[in-house]
Amino acid sequence: MTDLSRRTVLLGSGTLAALLTAPRWLEAQENAPSSIRAIQPWEFKSIQPAESGFVLNRASIAEGLTALEPDGRVVPCLSQSWTVSDDAREWRFVLRDGVVFHDGTPVTAEAVKASMDALLPQARRLSAVPIASIAAEGNEVIFQLARPFGPLPAYLCDFAISVYAPAAFTADGKIASLISTGPFKVDSVDLPRRLTLLRHDAYWGERPSVERAEFEAVANGETRTNMALAGDADVIMNIPTPSVARIESSGMMQVHEVINPRVHALYPDCGKPQFSDARTRRALSLAIDRTAIARTIMRNAELAATQLFPPVMPDWHFDDLPRYDYNVAAAEALLDKAGWIKGADGIRSKDGVRFAGTIHTFPNRPEMPVIATALQAMFKTVGYDLAISVGEASAIVEAKQNGTLDIGFSSRHLAIVPDGIAVISSEFVVEDSRNQSDTGAMNWRNAEFDRLTDAYFAETNEEIRAASRHRLTEILQEDLPVIPIVWYSQIFAVSDGLDGFVNDPFEQRLYLERLRFKA
Amino acid sequence: MTYWTTMIVGRLAQTAMVAWTIVTMCFVFVHVLPGDTALRIAEARGGAEFLNVGRAEEIASEEGLNRPILLQYGEWIRRLATGDLGVSLVSGQSVTSELWYRGQNTLVLGIVGWLASHLVALPIGICAALRPRGWVDKLSSFYCVTMASLPSFLMGIGLISIFALSLRWLPPAGFRSPEHLILPAATLALGLSAFSIRLIRDTVREVNGAFFITFARTKGLTASMALWQNGWRNAAIPIVAFAALQFAAVVDGFIMIETLFNFPGLGDLLVSSMLARDVPMVMGAGLVAAVGYGLVNLAADLTSLALDPRISQRDQRRATFR
């Protein structure tokens, strides 16, 4: 080999390697002015609806028979209306005319039924619905239920049960390609970071004004802030609270904030001697200065929880419920009355049991370990010795399973099914067959609560239902099987050049189809 | 067999052994981490919000996580022998296609960063060597100490602050266009160049003082001509060896840089897969990193041989005397 050929080989190999390995996105991209770039914090782990979270609905790809409006109303979506039999066991959903899937095939009752049949086994929340059979008849999809079930339309908003075309499924009922009916169809999927979308020109509703959209996952909050400061996207979700002032002063994007149906709450093990008496749970609640936590850690005093459900769920939020007070003296008095006596180290004990335990939380929401530290200091003032363990969220479930969990500190979306009864039944009715949660209240039973929950599902009289809702939330407020700390707000950064942004407090949709660039 | 063939076969066998060791260690580490693997996978699939023991049990049963560990390991090795790396326990996507996609990104970032670092390091290092204690040497020394002591995430944040947030010349994160490659590659390049400059400077200086350069000068060549005609090949050998060693440091650097710039590469994949206990993906990523490292070192050895045939003669003599 000569010197020249060696060099040629070396240089040639390098160039060839570079050319062969150039990823697709490096090819020059046309930055069409009619393309919207939206950023969210959650990665797209899978294209299976049950595991993809809200993303396929948020990106305006998938739709269900019903949908949730930003004001909390459940409205028809692929169905144009529904009727229910007197015994609330037969539900008929009449399909809209002229709706087509992204592949151009018509949305028929048979296609909807086939989609439901394939997706229902994975849709865990839907297992609460006593579906006996689903039938297609003309342009109607008919649900026959084994027993009356009033909140069915709300359960059908679940992202796991959106409607997909027959061509979207493999033979074993898995989704192979995302062919649904939404205003945008999928152009390409780069799991777990990017979805590229094209306008669905044959969409049945308001036609999107932009032709293309990109949906990108950026997990790091500081990176999302940088993108907002650089104006590198059109809509950015979950802006960290400490970054809001910087983004507002940069003038690149507008900030929109709305309180979500989400709560950060303590889940004490009510079976343990420290928490089996409701007075100790009330005492700990009285020792929490929620306003200080909301103001200093969440940077929004309005996020201090006054009850489990925030005002954005008006059917389940009651202004006449007694608020959670901050009153250390009352807390101490309650603990004294319950027989927990302070020792020389300032920590209480009763019958040889120390008033102490560990709180398990996780750092996915960065404020949670900080709040846990604040709680540690607050609880110490009333004589509870709190240790903190920060790990994966699954560690809470694991500790609960093996009986080592004292207090779990979790964040919970209360409106994945936009009717609070779904959370009530899955989180608090511990031995209910509808309970699909392993993260709810621990070892807490209340016979009246269980009875009211059961009756609620079957009840169609709205007056009786409203009274039940009030009583259910009242019991939670009195008995505190879960101790709410703060609610949560969704903060968006939106480009100044965009019109039509809708701030959906339920986080279910971004309404990309309503966005348009200002002239 | 020729010396070259023997050497290549030997190194490939060594690479295979290293890869097997790394993959086995990945498998062991994932399984000795505390916590339930199926629960972690359920969390990674559906998020903390939808975590459910029932789902975790289904996953354990579907994916065979309840089988004995050795059986799972044997199954993976058996599949690997047929070229099948399996599917991700989280996304259900093929591990090979995911590694290919991520590997492309990392390789492009690595090549651009590495080339950029040498575009900076070669001229500065040679200039500093030609005028020891001159102003280029002193400035480059200051630059090297500063860059070497600066953690790469700080460097990345600094570059983002200046070029993305203040000047708004470049995007701060993402992977949509060639411009998105500039800041992560620059972060990588600045860190790498700090070490390369000093090595190049010292190597060139040593070669410059060698007898054969002095001899060339006595023949009437200028200093730069003597170095160009007689010195570069001698100086290149340690530089090539060092560049290969830098590859290991680059793999570490990728993890931070890819996270900071939201860049979907192998480092980012390795961390997220490890957290999610996605065993096939962790083992696949470990395999790619180990094989990549072995191949880069093989390429460096071959380059050194091409530059200096005396290496093979020396090795052959040693083998004869043994």
A250-274 pLDDT, tens digit each:
888 999 999 999 999 999 999 999 9
Q: Do A230 and B101 touch (CB under 8 A)?
A: no
- For residue B48, give the nearest of A6, A362, A398 by CB distance: A362
Confidence class for position A437, pLDDT limits 50, 70, 90: low
CA distance A127 to A175: 20
Q: Do B260 and A437 touch (CB under 8 A)?
A: no
Residue A247 clears pLDDT 90, i.e. is over it? yes
Closest-CA distance, A498 to chain B, in angstroms, reads: 20
Q: Which pLDDT score is estimated for A433?
A: 44
What string of H, E and C letters represents the secondary structure of chain B? CCHHHHHHHHHHHHHHHHHHHHHHHHHHHHHHCCCCHHHHHHHHHHCHHHCCHHHHHHHHHHCCCCCCHHHHHHHHHHHHHCCCCCECCCCCCEHHHHHHHHHHHHHHHHHHHHHHHHHHHHHHHHHHHHCCCCHHHHHHHHHHHHHHHCCHHHHHHHHHHHHHHHCCCCCCCCCCCCHHHHHHHHHHHHHHHHHHHHHHHHHHHHHHCCHHHHHHHHCCCCHHHHHHHHHHHHHHHHHHHHHHHHHHHHHHHHHHHHHHCCCCCHHHHHHHHHHHCCHHHHHHHHHHHHHHHHHHHHHHHHHHHHHCCHHHHHHHHHHHHC
Q: How far is CA A506 from its chain centroid?
A: 8
B200 touches chain A (CB under 8 A): no
- Give residues 5 to 34 of A whose Cβ lies within 8 Å of B: 6, 10, 14, 17-18, 21-23, 25-26, 28-29
In A, minimum Cα distance to B111 occurs at A18
Closest-CA distance, B169 to chain A, in angstroms, reads: 9
Average confidence score pLDDT of chain B: 85
Which CATH architecture describes the domain B95-321?
A: Orthogonal Bundle (1.10)
Q: Which pLDDT score is estimated for A317?
A: 96
Q: Which residues of A touch B175 (CB under 8 A)?
A: 23, 25, 193-194
CA distance B99 to B97: 5
Q: Which pLDDT score is estimated for A199?
A: 95
Nearest CA among A309, A289, A294, A302 for reference residue A367: A294
Q: Which pLDDT score is estimated for B32?
A: 87
B261 touches chain A (CB under 8 A): yes
Q: Do A216 and B53 touch (CB under 8 A)?
A: no
A226 touches chain B (CB under 8 A): yes
Q: Do A229 and B303 touch (CB under 8 A)?
A: no
Q: Which pLDDT score is estimated for B297?
A: 82
Residue B303 clears pLDDT 70, i.e. is over it? yes
- More confidently predicted of B114 and A370: A370
- Give residues 271 to 300 of B whose Cβ lies within 8 Å of A: 272, 275
Q: Which pLDDT score is estimated for A12?
A: 60
Q: Which residues of B touch A45 (CB under 8 A)?
A: 44-45, 90-91
Name the pairing type of β-strands A235-236 and A35-40.
parallel
Residue B307 clears pLDDT 90, i.e. is over it? no
Q: Which residues of B touch A159 (CB under 8 A)?
A: none
What is the per-residue pLDDT across B199-250, written as a single tens digit (0 to 9) for each?
Answer: 888 888 888 777 777 787 787 777 777 777 777 777 777 777 777 777 666 6
Name the percent of chain A lying above pLDDT 70.
92
Q: Which pLDDT score is estimated for A1?
A: 40
Residue ranges covered by each domain of chain B: 11-81, 95-321
Q: Which pLDDT score is estimated for A272?
A: 94
Lowest model confidence (mean pLDDT) among A358-367, A391-400, B299-308: B299-308
In A, minimum Cα distance to B175 occurs at A25
Q: How far is CA B5 from its chain centroid?
A: 26
What's the full length of chain A, in residues?
A: 519
In order of their start, the domains of chain A are 47-182 (3.40.190.10), 261-488 (3.10.105.10)
What is the per-residue pLDDT across A479-505, written as a single tens digit (0 to 9) for each?
Answer: 999 999 999 999 999 999 899 999 999
What is the per-residue pLDDT across A105-138, written as a single tens digit (0 to 9) for each?
Answer: 999 999 999 999 999 998 888 888 999 999 999 9
Residue A296 clears pLDDT 70, i.e. is over it? yes
- For residue A398, give the nearest of B35, B272, B303 by CB distance: B35
Average confidence score pLDDT of chain A: 89
CA distance A340 to A334: 9
Confidence class for position A443, pLDDT limits 50, 70, 90: confident
Confidence class for position A282, pLDDT limits 50, 70, 90: very high
What is the per-residue pLDDT across A201-238, written as a single tens digit (0 to 9) for each?
Answer: 999 998 899 999 999 999 888 899 999 999 889 999 99
B160 touches chain A (CB under 8 A): yes
Predicted TM-score (pTM) above 0.90: no
Closest-CA distance, A187 to chain B, in angstroms, reads: 15
Name the percent of chain B lying above pLDDT 90.
23
In A, minimum Cα distance to B55 occurs at A124
Name the percent of chain A lying above pLDDT 90.
69
Q: Which pLDDT score is estimated for B225?
A: 77
Confidence class for position A26, pLDDT limits 50, 70, 90: low
In B, minimum Cα distance to A37 occurs at B176
Confidence class for position B305, pLDDT limits 50, 70, 90: confident
Q: Which residues of B touch A46 (CB under 8 A)?
A: 45, 90-92
What is the per-residue pLDDT across B133-180, written as a single tens digit (0 to 9) for each?
Answer: 889 999 999 999 998 888 888 999 999 999 999 998 999 998 888 899
In A, minimum Cα distance to B262 occurs at A218
B302 touches chain A (CB under 8 A): no
ipTM of the complex: 0.77
CB A197 within 8 A of CB A213: yes
Q: Do A18 and B174 touch (CB under 8 A)?
A: no
Residue A95 clears pLDDT 60, i.e. is over it? yes
CA distance B51 to A278: 27
Q: Which residues of A touch B108 (CB under 8 A)?
A: 18, 21-23, 26
Lowest model confidence (mean pLDDT) among A103-107, A175-179, A363-367: A363-367
B83 touches chain A (CB under 8 A): no
Query: How far, in Å, are A289, A328, A332, A398 from residue A337 at the CA level?
Result: 22, 14, 9, 34
Show Cβ contacts of residue B133 under 8 Å, excluding neighbours closer than 6 positions. none
- Determine the 3-state secondary structure of A431 from DSSP: coil
Q: Which pLDDT score is estimated for B235?
A: 73
A246 touches chain B (CB under 8 A): no
Write out the DSSP string of A285-326: HHT--HHHHHHHTSS-GGGB-SSSS-TTSTTT--TTSPPPP-
CA distance B65 to B38: 7
Confidence class for position A42, pLDDT limits 50, 70, 90: confident
What is the per-residue pLDDT across B11-67, written as a single tens digit (0 to 9) for each?
Answer: 899 889 999 999 999 999 888 888 888 888 988 887 777 777 878 888 899 888 889
A271 touches chain B (CB under 8 A): no
